[in-house]
Chains A and B, each alone.
Chain A
């Protein structure tokens, strides 16, 4: 099993954060690499993502199930890659801060299953923290935008981007370029 936990601070109170988080469509809209999202109901959805693995980009289909909506502080969910022997669990935590901002933490645990589990976990190891971080960052930005705050400053984003490999940066730049279409698609299909 490989796991990661990434925390970012959102410049919004926990109530505003929860208003955004409680709608699964907002999760999909901010997922890095999202190509398509089908909302089945309030708890189940199917996501199609493009994920950078080393120097290649792979399209994966993910079935996501929310196990527990425990707002405003916690959401538990699980997921399974369709066609690949990979499953996982995740936890979203929101913690209010004294300055009326909110720390949100995204924890992911991913497990390969079957005889090739070590390979899947080896390949996913370097990827998972970057992916979770990217999602948490985009999530925070999306919440702030929905709360009417100015977009996250470019230096903050660039500072974070600079810490990643250029490969991922390039992929993210591409994904950033796709975001408006993704959001539109996600809304349209929900």
Chain B
């Protein structure tokens, strides 16, 4: 298939690999290219590097990894494949699932050896579907970065992205050994203070910093505030990019390929609506996550693909802003599964297992075609004073005043219902029924608190009989209307790629010279439902695969494994 021909009169710069985006996807491609003897350039639209990787919890899901093996945890890539394959529910692609699983463990070792990436098993962190899926395991696949000393970034220390939402002075181990997010009061803040003072970064900021350092160590140029506006092709293959930098067009020739790793489209409401079928999303990500992957690859005939997805829930708290001056969006996930909270719709009814977002959030956008409504939206999280006194409500700690203008506070449930517009009788009945579940320790209606991951992630392990169930009895009561949010740039729709991360066209053939990685790629390896840690893993894995192919070292592993497992 012939492709675009839009060659410039002259090139302003020339490298082998142009990586567009400075998260794990783009950086891993650039680093891998360098290790294979090629030159690379990283182009970043914003003024900081690290991408959405730095905004994440930094979890990296790698089945059958050597770190778990060394810790004596029984697992295998085969079991990891079966796990993801069942999560896919037929919406993904089995070969893509296998491709991810087969290569992630090798990519992990590659970056450990080459850039000094230091990861460790998140002890006690189960797969989302552990116990609900026979191939899920109780720990071992979820990895996190060992705290990274950001002073090693030199002049890039202040230009490597931090997360405004994540407590990046703490590791998962620090947080969850102390009882998780619900038990903020039990965290070792002395350790946090030392880490913050030394700028040792954990979670997503730590993970991203390792890759930034890897690029810096190799002298790979990182262009910030440089926007890739257009890919350049010669009629046969992609050969470069037009970059807007310092108000000028800069034509960069890419001898071996261009890797599009610009994350997704969450800050474009029109894309959210038309590609994600999601309306009015708040977002935790910065404004340059605007769907450039489609605009760049579209003129080359790139094919896109979509998998089922959820709409997250969150809110903004008065007085909190992001670095760009906008309201700081916070996901409600951590609060929804804590004891002494429920979520109800206008009817005052619960509509799912609030403690397991991958189930619950599918209900948010449910459409009632009979009356053209979303029966479960708007919705409110309700908590009582027990929850308020014991647990943080995301960033609002028990010893802080409840922010003025945030939600509704009332002495009785009836008043709370009146002030919010929730049906009072429905709410009263729901709370009474829920209190019975809480006392029994079992939610027979929606199964709240039945997934081990829920207890680990958002429950209180010290709360009995169930870490996710607590009564709502004591006023004052609080209600916060939940807003729709994107999934931290983990999208439903992305560019379709082959197993070497080559973007494919509508003719199913790869577009020569064009690769994609990270959240720019359609999630054909997860399909219907998601597993935390896959996004960061696919970032580093697909960037690694892309550079290997572009530099003449394509991985042969998939073919071997697919034959062995009978996938093809």
A116 lies within 8 A of B398 (CB): yes
Residues of chain B contacted by A180 (CB below 8 angstroms):
none
Q: Give A123's nearest chain B residue, CB to CB.
A: B196
B397 lies within 8 A of A119 (CB): yes
B196 lies within 8 A of A122 (CB): yes
- Complex Cα gap A165–B155 (Å): 9
Residues of chain A contacted by B321 (CB below 8 angstroms):
50, 56-59
List 17 other contacts, CB 8 Å, given A54-B196, A56-B328, A57-B321: A54-B163, A57-B325, A59-B320, A59-B321, A83-B400, A83-B403, A114-B399, A115-B399, A118-B193, A121-B189, A121-B193, A125-B196, A126-B196, A165-B157, A166-B159, A167-B158, A174-B325
Chain B 505-521 per-residue mask, 1 if CB under 8 angstroms from chain A, else 0: 00000000000000000
B400 lies within 8 A of A84 (CB): yes
B320 lies within 8 A of A58 (CB): yes
Residues of chain B contacted by A55 (CB below 8 angstroms):
161-164, 322-323
A54 lies within 8 A of B399 (CB): no
- Mostly helix, strand, loop or mixed at chain B's interface? loop
> Is the C-beta of A169 less than 8 angstroms from some C-beta in chain B?
yes
Residues of chain B contacted by A121 (CB below 8 angstroms):
189, 193
**Least Cβ distance of B199 to chain A in Å?**
8
Q: Give A167's nearest chain B residue, CB to CB.
A: B158
Question: Which 10 residue pairs across A and B have the least CB separation, nearest first?
Answer: A166-B158, A56-B164, A118-B189, A122-B193, A83-B401, A59-B319, A55-B162, A55-B164, A114-B399, A122-B189
A126 lies within 8 A of B197 (CB): yes
- Complex Cα gap A58–B404 (Å): 14
Residues of chain A contacted by B193 (CB below 8 angstroms):
118, 121-122, 125
Q: Could you list some 13 contacts between A and B, CB below 8 A?
A: A54-B162, A54-B163, A54-B164, A54-B168, A57-B325, A59-B319, A119-B187, A119-B397, A122-B196, A123-B196, A126-B197, A126-B199, A165-B199
> Is the C-beta of B333 less than 8 angstroms from some C-beta in chain A?
no
Chain B 291-335 per-residue mask, 1 if CB under 8 angstroms from chain A, else 0: 000000000000000000000000000111111010010000000
Which A158-186 residues have C-beta < 8 A from chain B?
A: 164-171, 174
Q: Give B400's nearest chain A residue, CB to CB.
A: A84
| Chain A residues proximal to chain B, CB less than 8 Å | 50, 54-60, 82-85, 113-116, 118-119, 121-123, 125-126, 164-171, 174
Chain B 360-387 per-residue mask, 1 if CB under 8 angstroms from chain A, else 0: 0000000000000000000000000000
**Least Cβ distance of B352 to chain A in Å?**
30
> Is the C-beta of B64 less than 8 angstroms from some C-beta in chain A?
no
A122 lies within 8 A of B162 (CB): no
> Is the C-beta of B185 less than 8 angstroms from some C-beta in chain A?
yes
Residues of chain A contacted by B23 (CB below 8 angstroms):
none
Pick the contact of B190: A122, A167, A168, A171 (CB < 8 A): A122
B323 lies within 8 A of A167 (CB): yes
Q: Give B319's nearest chain A residue, CB to CB.
A: A59
**Least Cβ distance of B496 to chain A in Å?**
33
Which B197-253 residues have C-beta < 8 A from chain A?
A: 197, 199
- Complex Cα gap A174–B190 (Å): 31
- Complex Cα gap A31–B322 (Å): 21
- Complex Cα gap A118–B194 (Å): 12
Residues of chain B contacted by A123 (CB below 8 angstroms):
192, 196
A119 lies within 8 A of B320 (CB): no
B400 lies within 8 A of A165 (CB): no
* Residue of A54, A58, A113, A126 with highest tally of chain B CB at under 10 A: A54
> Is the C-beta of B254 less than 8 angstroms from some C-beta in chain A?
no
**Least Cβ distance of A119 to chain B in Å?**
5
- Complex Cα gap A165–B205 (Å): 15
A116 lies within 8 A of B320 (CB): no
Q: Give A114's nearest chain B residue, CB to CB.
A: B399
